[in-house]
Structure 1
Amino acid sequence: MSRTPVTGTDVERAVSLTAEALRPAPAEAWDAQAGPMDCSCWDALEHLNNGVFSYALRLAPPVPYQQGRPTIMWERPGARARPLVTDRDAGPEAAIEVLLMAGGLVAAVVDTRPASARAWHIWGAADPEGFAAMGVVETLAHAFDLTQGLGVDFEAPADLVSPALARLFPEAPTDTDPWTTLLWATGRGDLDGRAKRTPDWTWHAAPLDER
């Protein structure tokens, strides 16, 4: 069955829609818990920014990243260490702008690397389309978490969700609402006729023909 490939344009659209949804939230709301995540909305956005940024880093070098090679340290014992840290005093708009920057980097990288390129991810060695799909799903899933905590509305459009869902979750049904299905696939909601996903759910990072 044919499907629509995921591209850098989709990543840029995902971060843009998320930024648009987050901006109306009052500054004081960013201390609230981010939906099902065990952290504040501010920390959830920093987590999202670093996750999206990591997708660009993995494919950016002439030889894409493989497990075991030297890389940026993401965690330090006793501290939350991330490459991208936004000054909290600068306010939510600063962290939202970082999300847009990270999304732009992913878009630029995935659209210029050959389809044969592969870079390591814990859930499979991914091609550029895989990293584009991960950028979309990571952004939209955490947009749900963030808007739940911030008390603002958000629902991703079907034409953005469906291609990324098909790329990363080939086991997902195709005759259900795409947004509801994505929330189910990422352990954030229920789907009629399907068992609830366990906390150790995964997506399929490797190209679908390499399953």
Structure 2
Amino acid sequence: MGGDQVEEAVAGCVAALRPAVDRDWKEVKAAGLEWTCHDTAVHVADDLVAYAANLAARAQTGYVPFALTLDDGTDNTGLLHVVEATGALLAAAVRTAAPGVRGFHPYPFGSADRVGFAAMGVAEVLLHTHDMTRALGLAYEPPAELAESVLTWLFPHVQPGPAPWPTLLWATGRGELPGRAPVTRWRWRNNLVVPAERVTLTGIRPAAADDLRLGGTGGFDWIDGGPYEGTREACSHLMKAYEAGAHRPEFGVFALVRPEDGRAVGGIGFHGAPDEEGRVEIGYDLAVGARGNGYATEALRTLTAWALAREDVDQVSLTIEHDNAPSQGVATRAGFTRATVEEERVAQNEHDLDAGLLLYVRRS
């Protein structure tokens, strides 16, 4: 997901709408919206340039304070030219932004990276082109790869359907999907990023997790020896949850990225969402070359504090091998204590804790 996909989406939009440039778009209401087709096209262009500005300016607390205004007398051909131009601006901003750069966007965690802004731009174009072409009686269906990319980057909470485009329409309240209830309220979700002292915990989206589990980099620049096998295995579990519709992105897997050089040194994540008693388990690993620097302790302390600050989490646990003294040291330095013999017995009998593992806990 990047500048090429933004340009592809915009080209498809313009090609689909061009046959109707002689229509009065101000008199035709876009399907499912209160806006006219003219208003909707302006909205698309406004979002594209706003995303480009927020990413380029690294906006932190709000949108860059400007608005798109058309010249008086701009016709539909000119409006499509504006859509093309603003799409090109977003594509350029995405291509030139460094991987770790983030800009303001409110949903749901207050920021997005270059991939997020590209995906949001593509989503705006695909969905609103659908709204306009449907109202104008024009045929339109984007490439399946674009729709699938939007789903895997922005809708990690949505179970994949039989085909990407109908699934995206259903997920945004624009269509039906057999066996699923209609969607009346929806939001896309950029990835969660939790800053620590020397590393940033960067949420891994399903698209990146899929690449990692298959032996790729997930789009991260790893130090030598990374990612370690535990991160790939965690991404495999993430994808199984995503494919089953059980993935909760905030309780997923995070890459540990050093802001100083943008390189990933390890991974950390939850083994799933909190259970009914508010318990979650965390696992972590580091590339061999990153060990002994305190990164794991820092990341574990940060993610645990984030989790325990939530109302749905009362306890965070770790399971560690008996002979893994370094990991036991990480747990202790991060504020965890060894569970009691009774707690370990209950965990073994009721929660399938392997008898060869030690249980560490930290409570709110």
CA distance in 1, matches of 2:29, 2:22: 14
Match of 2:84 among 90, 100, 107: 100
Deviation at 1:196, TM superposition (A): 1.5
Look up the match of 2:240: none
Alignment check: 8 A CA contact 2:161 2:167 kept: no
Query: Which consecutive aligned stretches of 4+ in structure 1 deviate over 4 angstroms post-superposition?
Result: none
Match of 1:59 among 55, 60, 76: 55
CA distance in 2, matches of 1:148, 1:196: 19
CA RMSD of aligned residues (A): 1.7
Deviation at 1:195, TM superposition (A): 1.9
Compared CA separation, residues 28 and 175, structure 1 to 2 (3 A) = closer
Point out the structure with max Rg over C-alpha. 2
Alignment check: 8 A CA contact 1:86 1:94 kept: no
CA distance in 2, matches of 1:155, 1:192: 19
Match of 1:118 among 80, 102, 108: 102
Look up the match of 2:44: 48
Normalising by structure 1, report the TM-score. 0.85
Alignment check: 8 A CA contact 1:25 1:151 kept: no
Segment drifting more, 169-178 vs 34-43: 169-178
Normalising by structure 2, report the TM-score. 0.51
Match of 1:28 among 23, 40, 43: 23
Look up the match of 1:148: 134
Q: Give per-residue Cα distances to partners, 1:53-82, cap 9 Å, x unaligned.
A: 111010112xx00115x8315xxxxxxxxx
Compared CA separation, residues 130 and 159, structure 1 to 2 (3 A) = same
Residues 1-211 of structure 1 mapped to structure 2, 5 A cutoff: 6-30=1-25, 31-61=27-57, 64-68=58-62, 71-73=64-66, 83-87=67-71, 89-123=73-107, 124=109, 125-199=111-185, 201-206=186-191, 208-209=203-204, 211=250
Alignment check: 8 A CA contact 1:29 1:150 kept: no
**More strand as a share of residues:** 2
Unaligned runs of 5+ in 1: 1-5, 74-82
Deviation at 1:24, TM superposition (A): 0.1
For residue 104 of structure 2, give the secondary structure of its aligned residue in structure 1: coil
Larger relative contact order (Cα-Cα within 8 Å, sequence gap ≥ 6) = 1
For residue 23 of structure 2, give the secondary structure of its aligned residue in structure 1: helix
For residue 28 of structure 1, give the secondary structure of its aligned residue in structure 2: coil
**More helix as a share of residues:** 1
Alignment check: 8 A CA contact 2:3 2:90 kept: yes
**Percent identity, aligned pairs only?**
38
For residue 127 of structure 2, give the secondary structure of its aligned residue in structure 1: helix
Give the number of aligned pairs: 193
Q: Give per-residue Cα distances to partners, 1:110-150, cap 9 Å, x unaligned.
A: 11111111111110311100110001001100001111121
Compared CA separation, residues 67 and 152, structure 1 to 2 (3 A) = same
For residue 9 of structure 2, give the secondary structure of its aligned residue in structure 1: helix
Q: Give per-residue Cα distances to partners, 1:177-204, cap 9 Å, x unaligned.
A: 11101111111111112222123x1001
Deviation at 1:48, TM superposition (A): 1.0
Deviation at 1:169, TM superposition (A): 0.4
Q: Give per-residue Cα distances to partners, 1:81-131, cap 9 Å, x unaligned.
A: xx2222463310111111111111111111111111111111031110011
